């Protein structure tokens, strides 16, 4: 069967071999096992259901929320000689009937539909008459409350499984599946853990770096003047910062384009094209820029602020080095980014999403404080098997020796315990640094009050972030997040575990310009 799949790959798509886990996924599907396939955008997920669709008897239904992309997919398949159709709200009643005639007379192999269509009973009754061998669920994270794009209509997908005496095989596909989303998809669609395949998140030609406390404007100007020939993107969180960075670069004589949601579409397109055609070296943009952009020679992506979660960061940073050439992804971190995101999340439309968003934000903050391999951090976040350290990210390349900071860690952890594990990072760091203000008064009697007073409260907060990224402290999410000691942290308190850190904590006198 697999040989046949390889033949189909060659005959219909002109490719010689499968990529990454495509082969295992296809084999699993052809064996009749329900499967989850997680690969980043551009990884090659479509072939994972298109090849089985060709290999199996009967029809494959592809559920996709991306109405605008359905037509492109179908056109591409047809141009490869594969009979495919789509039904969505862009079709007239008449056109839908025509498509259904194709389907009934078995003149189509793949039928793309929007999930809302499955809420229509008479459509489901029509489906019941057909021989459906495979149901492919694209953008499968939409089925999960934990996903960034939950769609209630995705929950109707399960209902159609019982339309036929034999349930068709199911393949779910997504680019964003953190452990929670993955578990949710598997639980809702009853997919076994052996049938989950994840690959492709490792981007070997990218070197990631996090810079803390840099003067961001100076850094950007210097970086671009050191790389005068290279195209790059600078992502900023707000329209206002896009405007000011853009103006700053123009003043330096750098050809810069800009892109954000507050501009007229015409101006946005004009600016985008200048960047795509290499007329502008640098694009300064909000996250509105980048979807569907195919510029392969982007050599650097700088983030002026920390994005709100790893998914966004991975997607934006991942626009560097599409051509496989070495490229850099640099995040300029300042602790105020965290406050901005917390504020925005608190204002969020849907309060049920707040804890989820806060947890994702915490994982983003951890990325900024970890001293472990950044590439591995990202790959692990997406649930792919552990990879070897990349050897070139900011942390792997950091040659400073690690210092034993166990004693300071014990001081922090014991202070957290003494405060009842019921307070946040800021207050705890003020207590440790021996600050004098109304809020810390209640803790002045503690033996841990001022126990790190040779450090600034900010440096202590930074150290706490590091301990969180090491999972020695955990964060209880909420409007006022609190910190508590993890089981590993308890081992540190008991002297059973040591803590090593590269970063030298700055003394109280050092004032950070940027924060």
Contacts with ligand ADP by CB under 6 A lie at: 15, 18-19, 22, 39, 41-47
Q: Toward ligand ADP, which CB reaches closer, 22 or 312?
A: 22
From the CB of 385, what's the least distance to ligand ADP, in Å? 19
Q: Which two tokens stand for residue 420?
A: 């009842």
Q: Which two tokens stand for residue 441?
A: 């008064």
From the CB of 99, what's the least distance to ligand ADP, in Å? 23
From the CB of 317, what's the least distance to ligand ADP, in Å? 17
Q: Toward ligand ADP, which CB reaches closer, 42 or 391?
A: 42
Burial (CB count <10 Å: 0-12, 13-18, 19+), residue 319: buried
- The answer to whether 333 and 211 have CB atoms below 8 angstroms apart is yes
- Give the helix/strand (H/E) hosting 449: none
- Tokens 């860690």 belong to which residue? 409
Distance between start and end Cα atoms, the chain: 60
Q: Toward ligand ADP, which CB reaches closer, 141 or 260?
A: 141
How far apart, in Å, are the Cα atoms of 192 and each of 37, 176, 270, 471?
Answer: 12, 19, 48, 29
Q: Toward ligand ADP, which CB reaches closer, 130 or 172?
A: 172
From the CB of 16, what's the least distance to ligand ADP, in Å? 7
- DSSP percent split of the chain into helix, strand, coil, nearest 5: 45, 15, 40
- The answer to whether 33 and 195 have CB atoms below 8 angstroms apart is yes
Burial 432-469 (b: 16+ CB within 10 A, else e): bbbbeeeebeebeebebbbbbeebbbbbbbbbbbbbbb
From the CB of 246, what's the least distance to ligand ADP, in Å? 30
From the CB of 276, what's the least distance to ligand ADP, in Å? 18
Q: Toward ligand ADP, which CB reaches closer, 138 or 337?
A: 138
Give the total residue count for the chain: 515
Q: Toward ligand ADP, which CB reaches closer, 18 or 466?
A: 18
Q: Toward ligand ADP, which CB reaches closer, 45 or 216?
A: 45
Q: Toward ligand ADP, which CB reaches closer, 92 or 294?
A: 294
Q: Toward ligand ADP, which CB reaches closer, 36 or 220?
A: 36
- The answer to whether 452 and 433 have CB atoms below 8 angstroms apart is yes
Q: Toward ligand ADP, which CB reaches closer, 17 or 277?
A: 17
From the CB of 336, what's the least distance to ligand ADP, in Å? 35
From the CB of 318, what's the least distance to ligand ADP, in Å? 12
DSSP-derived letter for residue 138 is T
Neighbours of 147 (CB within 10 A): 23
- CA–CA dist 305, 288 (Å, integer): 15
- The answer to whether 299 and 231 have CB atoms below 8 angstroms apart is yes
Q: Toward ligand ADP, which CB reaches closer, 84 or 455?
A: 84
Q: Toward ligand ADP, which CB reaches closer, 51 or 455?
A: 51
From the CB of 45, what's the least distance to ligand ADP, in Å? 3
Backbone angles phi, psi at 197, to 5 degrees: -120, 125
From the CB of 13, what's the least distance to ligand ADP, in Å? 6
- CA–CA dist 393, 432 (Å, integer): 32
From the CB of 22, what's the least distance to ligand ADP, in Å? 6
Long-range contacts formed by 186-191: CB under 8 A, 24+ apart: 186/36, 188/143, 188/144, 188/155, 188/158, 189/34, 189/36, 189/137, 189/140, 189/143, 189/157, 189/158, 190/34, 191/34, 191/35, 191/36
Backbone angles phi, psi at 178, to 5 degrees: -75, 165
The C-alpha R_g of the chain, in whole angstroms, comes to 26
From the CB of 46, what's the least distance to ligand ADP, in Å? 3
């Amino acid at each position: 069967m697999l040989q046949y799949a390889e033949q189909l790959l060659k005959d219909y798509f002109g490719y010689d071999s499968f990529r990454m886990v495509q082969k295992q996924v296809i084999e699993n599907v052809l064996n009749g096992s329900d499967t989850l396939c997680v690969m980043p955008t551009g990884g090659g997920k479509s072939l994972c259901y298109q090849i089985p669709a060709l290999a199996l008897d009967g029809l494959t239904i592809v559920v996709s929320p991306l109405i605008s992309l359905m037509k492109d997919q179908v056109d591409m398949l047809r141009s490869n000689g594969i009979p495919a159709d789509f039904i969505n709200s862009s079709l007239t009643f008449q056109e839908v009937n025509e498509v259904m005639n194709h389907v009934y007379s078995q003149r189509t192999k793949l039928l793309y539909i929007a999930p809302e269509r499955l809420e229509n009973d008479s459509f489901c009754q029509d489906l019941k008459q057909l021989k459906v061998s495979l149901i492919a669920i694209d953008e499968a994270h939409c089925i999960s409350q934990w996903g960034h794009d939950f769609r209630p209509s995705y929950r109707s997908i399960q209902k159609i499984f019982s339309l036929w005496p034999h349930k068709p095989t199911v393949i779910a596909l997504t680019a964003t599946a953190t452990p929670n989303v993955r578990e949710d998809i598997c639980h809702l669609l009853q997919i076994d853990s052996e049938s989950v395949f994840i690959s492709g998140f490792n981007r070997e030609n990218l070197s990631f770096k996090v810079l803390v406390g840099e003067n961001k404007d100076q850094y950007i100007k210097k970086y671009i003047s050191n790389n005068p020939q290279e195209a790059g993107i600078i992502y900023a969180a707000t329209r206002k910062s896009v405007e000011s960075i853009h103006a700053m670069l123009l003043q330096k004589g750098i050809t810069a384009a800009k892109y954000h949601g507050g501009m007229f579409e015409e101006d946005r397109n004009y600016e985008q094209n200048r960047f795509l055609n290499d007329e502008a070296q640098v694009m300064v943009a909000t996250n509105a820029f980048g979807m569907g952009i195919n510029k392969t020679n982007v050599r650097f992506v700088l983030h002026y602020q920390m994005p709100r979660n790893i998914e966004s960061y991975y997607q934006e940073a991942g626009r560097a080095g599409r051509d496989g050439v070495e490229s850099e992804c640099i995040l300029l971190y300042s602790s105020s980014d965290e406050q901005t995101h917390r504020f925005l999340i608190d204002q969020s439309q849907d309060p049920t999403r707040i804890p989820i968003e806060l947890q994702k934000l915490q994982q983003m903050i951890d990325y900024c404080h970890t001293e472990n391999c950044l590439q591995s951090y990202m790959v692990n976040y997406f649930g792919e098997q552990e990879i070897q350290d990349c050897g070139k990210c900011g942390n792997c390349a950091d040659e400073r020796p690690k210092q034993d900071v166990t004693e300071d860690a014990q001081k922090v952890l014991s202070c957290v315990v003494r405060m009842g594990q019921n307070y946040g990072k800021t207050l705890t760091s003020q207590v440790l640094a021996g600050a004098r203000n109304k809020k810390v008064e209640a803790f002045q009697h503690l033996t841990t009050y001022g126990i790190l007073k040779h450090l600034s409260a900010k440096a202590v907060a930074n150290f706490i972030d590091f301990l969180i990224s090491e999972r020695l402290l955990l964060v209880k999410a909420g409007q006022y997040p609190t910190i508590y000691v993890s089981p590993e942290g308890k081992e540190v308190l008991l002297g059973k575990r040591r803590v090593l850190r590269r970063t030298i904590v700055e003394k109280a006198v050092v004032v950070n310009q940027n924060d």
